[in-house]
């Protein structure tokens, strides 16, 4: 989480919020729609009630905007997966 942005906007997030956020990211990889906003659509043919039940779109967007796990300036590898490797390694330790 980018602390500077979050502090400037008086925004806090808890462990449960992060778990829900990642759950929604995983779900979006499984059940893909043409646009991210459609997960919160109220149209019957596009509706994904589980998504809006877990987290409002505005909250998801705020977390998405603030979430930065790796400092891009400190990356030395050109491996595209390097950004998430640190996250997975940390999760393995807990």
Whole-angstrom distance, CA of residue 1 vs CA of residue 7:
10
pLDDT of residue 54: 96
Residue 78 has which token pair?
Answer: 């050109």
Angle of the 15-30 helix axis to the 57-66 helix axis, nearest 10? 100
Q: What is the mean pLDDT of residues 59-84?
A: 75
What are the helix (H) ranges across the chain? Answer: 3-8, 15-30, 49-54, 57-66, 82-93
Say yes or no to pLDDT of 69 above 70: no
Q: What is the mean pLDDT of residues 19-47?
A: 90
What share of the chain in percent tops pLDDT 70?
65
- Choose among 51, 54, 91, 84: nearest CA to 69: 84
**Which of 30-39, 40-49, 52-61 reaches the highest mean pLDDT?**
52-61
């Amino acid at each position: 989480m980018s602390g500077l942005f979050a502090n400037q906007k008086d925004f806090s997030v808890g462990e449960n919020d992060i778990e829900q956020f990642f759950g929604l990211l995983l779900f979006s990889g499984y059940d893909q729609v043409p646009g991210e906003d459609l997960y919160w659509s109220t149209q019957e043919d596009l509706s994904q009630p589980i998504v809006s039940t877990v987290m409002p779109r505005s909250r998801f967007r705020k977390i998405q905007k603030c979430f930065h796990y790796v400092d891009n300036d400190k990356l030395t590898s050109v491996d595209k997966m390097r950004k998430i490797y640190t996250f997975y390694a940390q999760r393995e330790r807990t």
